[in-house]
Amino acid sequence: MSAALEFRNLTLGYDRHPAVHHLHGPVKQGALMAVVGPNGAGKSTLFKGIVGMLKPLAGGIDLCGARARDIAYLPQIADIDRTFPIGVYDMVAMGLWREAGLFGGIGKREREKVRAAMSAVGLSGFEERPIGTLSGGQMQRALFARLLLQDARVIVLDEPFNAIDTKTAADLCDLVMRWHTEKRTVIAALHDLDLVKSMFPEALLLAREPVAWGATAEVLTAENLLKARRMCEAFDEHAHECAA
Amino acid sequence: MLYDTLISPFVEFAFMRRALVGAFALALGAGPVGVFLMLRRMSLVGDAMAHAILPGAAIGFLVSGLSLFAMTAGGLIAGFVIAVGAGIVARATELKEDASLAAFFLISLAVGVTIVSLKGTNVDLLHFLFGTVLALDDPTLLLIAGITTISLLALAVIYRPLVLECVDPGFLRSVSRAGAPAHIAFLALVVMNLVGGFHALGTLLAVGIMMLPAVIARFWARDITTMILIAVVSGAISGYAGLLVSFHTGAPSGPAIILVAGVLYAASVLFGRVGGLIHLLFPGRHLEA
């Protein structure tokens, strides 16, 4: 099976300090991959690199013909201005940007799509509600509806199930599984290791350096997790230049 | 009686009709721009830009007297230079955009007042600062109408990226590169509308017809479309009522227009359906669900 994207000795970071160090390898098309690691392990940094928001310090990412903009990305903390006077429907409909762009009409077919996406995340009836009235979980549902509309081959989710209740998390997990059966490539950063073990066939354990990458059961061993914790705590303000 | 008070001034006097047309055109163009300034938390940027325009208009005035073309061109150039300059300093250095804009507009204001004071009379200075809505000639009216037309067309073009950049800038960046060009085009619209407003209301009060209607609208609407409509309508009402007040009392017309808008604002703070004081203090009994 061909790759959806490929890391080429990738180093990402801030102010010359690496946050992701020498990551190398392909993510297969249709993969369902969890990125696991302690806080500060470089998960969010990796995702920003994938969607082109952060330039690599060294190495690169081969998107295998796709453009960074074709990747659907759910950031950990979306900086959404919730006081902005806009309804949930319009917010979700932004997911059609790739089709509609600046001027493209939103016709009957598109409106139907938006309604279908909202109903898929359980937000039917919320169309006219201002986004400021949504709870945290409802907002996450709305963002997932927008992801659905983006209809992307590669979907990157940064801690999508944080701070939401079990019912919402379960509903959103179902959507992720649906994407998986549709052969889309899904990469998600998660902290809930039980969830990773039960849902994700593949995992990448990151602690700035890649600790382990492969089948989930082989990656999430106690030994690897301990190693990751130790590696992550070693930050040196006056580090020397990396020779590798 | 009512006819005498409310309508006959405009029927009898051509200068009142012209002033009314000018005020309506300004409200139509500046209202929507003001709403976006407010939603982007740039309410005071309009004020800074208005000050920045002054030296440009003053240099135009020096070169060719009270010439519409020279003062407009000067104002536009000064506005663009300062908007772009402040943007560049903000991106190239550690300074935030509001701080760099403050530095730019203060320098610009000092330059402008110096030029006008050295070369002109105090009457000229008053003209610059407070405008002459009762003396709008045909070319000036056409200029204001043209600016309004361009504003509305341009806003239609950049509407989606502009809204999206306010709501979820990260998402816009991840799907499109339209954000930065839309922002620059929007700043250009701010400058243009201030230059248009400057001829009628002066550099200081031109911001009033832009921001006050927007702030009023915030108290009455929950969605942006209604908000823009309310801003335009309240701007137009301020123009009409302000001209009448000025006509009957002899108060200067520009300030009268902005004062009417100020009264509408005070009423909105009190009675506004969306977050107005009375609504907050006496919300009524809570609902069942």
What confidence tier does B123 reach under pLDDT thresholds 50, 70, 90? low
State whether residue A53 sits within 8 Å of chain B by CB: yes
Q: Is the pLDDT of residue B119 over 80?
A: no
CB contact under 8 A, A94 and B166: no
What confidence tier does B38 reach under pLDDT thresholds 50, 70, 90? very high
At residue A16, the pLDDT reads: 85
Q: Name the average pLDDT for chain B.
A: 89
At residue A235, the pLDDT reads: 65
Which of B171, B174, B224 has the CB atom closest to A85's CB atom?
B224
State whether residue B275 sits within 8 Å of chain A by CB: no
HEC profile of chain A: CCEEEEEEEEEEEECCEEEEEEEEEEEECCCEEEEECCCCCCHHHHHHHHCCCCCCCEEEEECCCCCHHHEEEECCCCCCCCCCCCEHHHHHHHHHHHHHCCCCCCCHHHHHHHHHHHHHCCCCCCCCCEHHHCCHHHHHHHHHHHHHHHCCCEEEEECCCCCCCHHHHHHHHHHHHHHHHCCCEEEEECCCHHHHHHHCCEEEEEECEEEEEEEHHHHCCHHHHHHHHHHHCCCCCCCCCCCC
Q: pLDDT (tens digit, 9 = 90+) per residue, A84-111?
A: 999 999 999 999 988 888 888 888 999 9
CB contact under 8 A, B167 and A86: yes
At residue A52, the pLDDT reads: 87
Closest Cα in chain B, distance from residue A79 (Å): 6
Identify the residue whose tokens are 């499109």: B176
**How many other C-beta atoms can be found within 10 angstroms of the C-beta atom of residue B249?**
9
Which of A69, A80, A103 has the CB atom closest to B168's CB atom?
A80
Which of A68, A86, A103 has the CB atom closest to B223's CB atom?
A86
Residue A35 region by backbone torsions, left for phi larger than 0, else alpha for psi between -120 and 50, else beta = beta
- pLDDT (tens, 9 = 90+) of chain A, 244 residues, equals 688 999 999 999 988 888 899 999 999 999 999 999 988 889 999 999 999 888 999 999 999 888 887 899 998 877 788 989 999 999 999 999 888 888 888 889 999 999 999 999 999 999 999 999 999 899 999 999 999 999 999 999 999 998 889 899 999 999 999 999 999 999 999 999 999 999 999 999 999 889 999 999 999 999 999 888 888 776 677 777 877 6
What confidence tier does B17 reach under pLDDT thresholds 50, 70, 90? very high
Domain limits of chain B? 2-278
At residue B161, the pLDDT reads: 92
Tell me the mean pLDDT in the region B60-85.
86
Closest Cα in chain A, distance from residue B97 (Å): 19
Q: Where are the alpha helices (DSSP H) in A151-205?
A: 166-181, 193-199
User: Which chain A residues have a beta carbon less than 8 Å from that of B171?
Assistant: 78, 94, 146
Give the separation between CA A21 and CA A242, rounded to whole angstroms. 10
Q: pLDDT (tens digit, 9 = 90+) per residue, B47-69?
A: 888 888 888 888 888 887 778 88
State whether residue A66 sits within 8 Å of chain B by CB: no
CATH of segment(s) B2-278: 1.10.3470.10
At residue A1, the pLDDT reads: 60
Q: pLDDT (tens digit, 9 = 90+) per residue, A51-71?
A: 988 899 999 999 988 888 789
- B113 or B266, which is more confident: B266
At residue B94, the pLDDT reads: 81
CB contact under 8 A, B157 and A102: yes
